Chain A
Amino acid sequence: GAVVSQHPSWVICKSGTSVKIECRSLDFQATTMFWYRQFPKQSLMLMATSNEGSKATYEQGVEKDKFLINHASLTLSTLTVTSAHPEDSSFYICSAGTSGRNAYEQYFGPGTRLTVT
């Protein structure tokens, strides 16, 4: 149980285009989802927290107009990187939590590797 999927697992796009990444909780309903970014050989950095049906809360320094997050249902959150540039190339990982489970545990997706050329 508690499986989180991400799609796509990797994507290459041209500079200036937008890319959408999906995060799904497959066997539970997630009231809260999180988006992380990980640069090579570094730890995970929380970008934003999203709750179903409300606006995402972004961490300081994260551009909300560039990284659009939508949490339209209890099983799906999407991250759209708008007007992507090479510096946006990174590993993006989502996670999901729910009040029905351990409140302090998140279930992580497998990650999406984004390369912007």
Chain B
Amino acid sequence: AQSVTQLDSHVSVSEGTPVLLRCNYSSSYSPSLFWYVQHPNKGLQLLLKYTSAATLVKGINGFEAEFKKSETSFHLTKPSAHMSDAAEYFCVVSGGGGFKTIFGAGTRLFVKA
């Protein structure tokens, strides 16, 4: 069985400050983990993915995430927020020999000027 929990429904930061979006997962298998971003009325854009290679994963737009098996976490970070980062972020887990994926509830990121 798999599950994913995004610990914050919304996060608010000031422009230029660090971003931390938290995600915990549960999986009976070696999971693949993803972060997607969704801007209003748009589809999903893949930020980064972990598929059992390096535990520190670098993605697009300056985002990165670290897979910590001992903590079952896959938190998303960015050193300096930009106004254009304001969006909904989804943590996703998949695995177990198929394509089935489980979406987190999402975290809305607000960026203040």
Residues of A near any B CB (own CB < 8 A): 6, 32, 34, 41-44, 46, 49, 91, 93, 97, 102-106, 108-111, 113
Which of chain B's residues has its CB closest to A91's CB? B41
With both chains docked as a complex, state the minimum distance between the C-beta of A45 and any C-beta of chain B, in angstroms. Answer: 8
Are A44 and B90 in contact, with the CB atoms below 8 A? yes
Chain B residues, CB < 8 A from A43: 90, 103-106
- 12 residue pairs of the A-B complex, CB under 8 angstroms, read A42-B105, A43-B104, A44-B44, A93-B44, A102-B49, A104-B95, A104-B101, A105-B94, A108-B44, A110-B42, A111-B41, A111-B42
Bound complex: CA A34 to CA B94 (Å): 14
Are A103 and B43 in contact, with the CB atoms below 8 A? no
With both chains docked as a complex, state the minimum distance between the C-beta of A35 and any C-beta of chain B, in angstroms. Answer: 13
Bound complex: CA A106 to CA B34 (Å): 10
CB neighbors of A among B80-113 (8 A) = 90, 94-95, 97-101, 103-106, 108
Q: How many chain B residues touch A (Cβ–Cβ < 8 Å)?
A: 23
Residues of B near any A CB (own CB < 8 A): 32, 34, 36, 41-44, 46, 49, 51, 90, 94-95, 97-101, 103-106, 108
Are A108 and B43 in contact, with the CB atoms below 8 A? yes
Which of chain A's residues has its CB closest to B97's CB? A103
Bound complex: CA A41 to CA B85 (Å): 17
A93 interface neighbour in B43, B94, B99, Cβ under 8 Å: B43
Chain B residues, CB < 8 A from A97: 99
Bound complex: CA A109 to CA B38 (Å): 12
Are B43 and A110 in contact, with the CB atoms below 8 A? yes
Bound complex: CA A34 to CA B92 (Å): 15
